[in-house]
Amino acid sequence: MGLILDILVQGVQMVLVLALAPGLVGFTRKVKARLLRRQGPPVLQPYRDLLRLVRKEAVLADNASWLFRNAPYLIFATTWVAAALVPTFAAGLHFSWAADLIAITALLGSARFFLALAGMDIGTAFGGIGSSREMLFATLAEPAMIMIVFTVALVAGSTQLSTVAAFMVDHSTLRVSLGLALIGLIIVALTENARVPVDNPATHLELTMVHEAMVLEYSGRHLAVIELAAALKLLLYISLIACIFAPWGMARPDDGVAGMAIGVVTWVGKLAIGGFLMVVFETAIAKMRVFRVPEFVGGALMLGLLGTLLLFVSRSF
């Protein structure tokens, strides 16, 4: 009985992340529009877009290969699995020990690998430029993420996110190393999600673009799946930051339905706050030139390394 309940909770998490991800994107677009004194599309617009795209036929370039057709589903699947493994409303989910934070980072790396390859499949200049830059950013963002994981793991004594969250609730103290890790993680999150100042999710046909350039040849259901994966990734990163640095309200493994409900409400609240703060930051800052980005992301790498080194010097930092 307990096992069935555990799997049920895990299933609820998987469905919830999927259901809420487009809503989060719609919410950030709405907030951004309001901050720019525009009316903005309705919050539910991304759902309608996805539905419309899914129903359309897919237009494939003449020389598209099997990789191009299958990559969207693989990208979506790896991102979804990664998102399902981050504790959102409840810690200690049944499958949470299937992958720790390093594995979640690497899963996102798999998604990026396929996305970059898909960008190169047709053989257009735009696809190549997008893939090339995406991989450049990743060469700095991934080690930065690993160093941040190290910092967090050395504080909490585990790379397992459920354990980390439980530790942070019980031993919530201000630490220099965690502060460095938080800033680093925000930089990584902005980079990985192609947000301003690294990339602009709202533009097409701009030579600075990265993510949009890779998916330029996609249409119909393939595009819908990729867009959904991008939304899932945004939700994943905000949930991740919330899970590590603000795990309050998350249901413990033995909490009942009431605890879960509280967990869901606080999680949605955290998502809203995280999305809002991100948009405020985006609105206040200009996009960087492409070759300034490595310095920006390299900063995250340095912060992560500094945090780790501090903890190697003394566990009390």
Partner 1 sequence: MPIAAALLSVAGLAGVAVVAPILTARRLTSATPVVYGASLVFTSVLLVSGLLGLLGGSAFQGVLHLPVGLPWTGAHFALDPLSAAFLVIVNFGAVVASIYAIGYGAHEEEPGRVLPFYPAFLAGMNLVVLSADAFGFLVAWEFMSLSSWALVMAHHHEAENRRAGFVYLLMASFGTLMLLLAFGLLAGPDGDYAFSAIRTAEHVPWIAGLVLVLMLLGAGSKAGLVPLHVWLPLAHPAAPSHVSALMSGVMTKVAIYGFIRVVFDLVSEPAWWWAVIVLILGAGSAVLGVLHAVLQRDLKRLLAYSTVENVGIVFIGLGLGLAFKTNDMAGAAALAVTASIFHAFNHSLFKSLLFFGAGNVLTGAGERDIEKLGGLVHRMPETAYLFLGGCLAISALPPLNGFVSEWLILQAILLSPDLPQWALRFLVPASGAMLALAAALAAACFVRAFGITFLSRPRSPTAETAQEVGRWQIRAMYVLFGVCLVAGIFPGPFLDALSPVSQLLVGGAMPKQPIVPHFSIIPISESRSSYSGFLVFFFILMASWAAIRVIHNFASRAVRRAPPWDCGFPDASPATQYTADSFAQPIRRVFGPLAFRAKISQTLPPPGDMAPARLNLTLRDLVWEFVYAPIEGAVLYAAERLNILQFLTIRSYLSLVFAALVLLLVLVATWA
Scan residues 56-75 and list those touching partner 1 (CB under 8 A): 56-63, 65-67, 73-74
Stretch that binds partner 1, among 1-9, 267-275, 281-289, 298-306 (CB under 8 A): 298-306
Helix axes 101-121, 125-156, angle to 10 degrees: 180
Whole-number Å distance between alpha carbons of 305 and 48: 43
Closest separation in Å from C-beta 245 to partner 1:
20
Q: Which of 40, 47, 124, 296 binds partner 1 (CB under 8 A)?
A: 124
Stretch that binds partner 1, among 25-33, 97-105, 182-190, 265-273 (CB under 8 A): 97-105
Q: Which of 34, 36, 172, 312 binds partner 1 (CB under 8 A)?
A: 312
**Phi first, then psi: what are they for 90, rounded to 5°?**
-140, 140
In the numeric block, which tokens belong to residue 15?
């469905």
Q: By CB under 8 A, is residue 132 in contact with partner 1? A: yes
Specify the residue, 44 or 67, whose C-beta has the smaller distance to partner 1: 67
Q: By CB under 8 A, is residue 97 in contact with partner 1? A: yes
Closest separation in Å from C-beta 224 to partner 1:
8
Question: Site residues for partner 1, window 208-227 (CB under 8 A)?
Answer: 216-217, 219-221, 224-225
Specify the residue, 43 or 216, whose C-beta has the smaller distance to partner 1: 216
Whole-number Å distance between alpha carbons of 124 and 136: 19
Q: By CB under 8 A, is residue 154 in contact with partner 1? A: yes
The sign of the dihedral angle between the CA atoms of 119, 121, 127, 130 is: positive
Closest separation in Å from C-beta 276 to partner 1:
30
Q: How many CA atoms lie within 13 A of 261 on its CB side?
A: 3
Beta bridge partners of 251: 90
Whole-number Å distance between alpha carbons of 116 and 132: 8
Query: 276-288: b or e for each residue (b if 16 or more CB lie within 10 Å)?
Result: eebbeebeeeebb
CB 71 within 8 A of CB 114: yes
Stretch that binds partner 1, among 27-35, 137-145, 257-265, 269-277 (CB under 8 A): 137-145
Q: How far is CA 203 from CA 47, 206, 211, in A?
A: 20, 7, 10
Q: How many residues does the chain have?
A: 317
Site string for partner 1, 28-57 (x = CB under 8 A): --------------------------xxxx
Stretch that binds partner 1, among 21-29, 114-122, 168-176, 260-268 (CB under 8 A): 114-122
- CA angle, corner 15, sides to 148 and 278, nearest 5? 45
CB 241 within 8 A of CB 186: yes
Q: Which of 13, 28, 88, 131 binds partner 1 (CB under 8 A)?
A: 131
With contacts defined by CB under 8 A, how many residues of the chain interact with partner 1? 87
Question: Site residues for partner 1, window 189-208 (CB under 8 A)?
Answer: 205
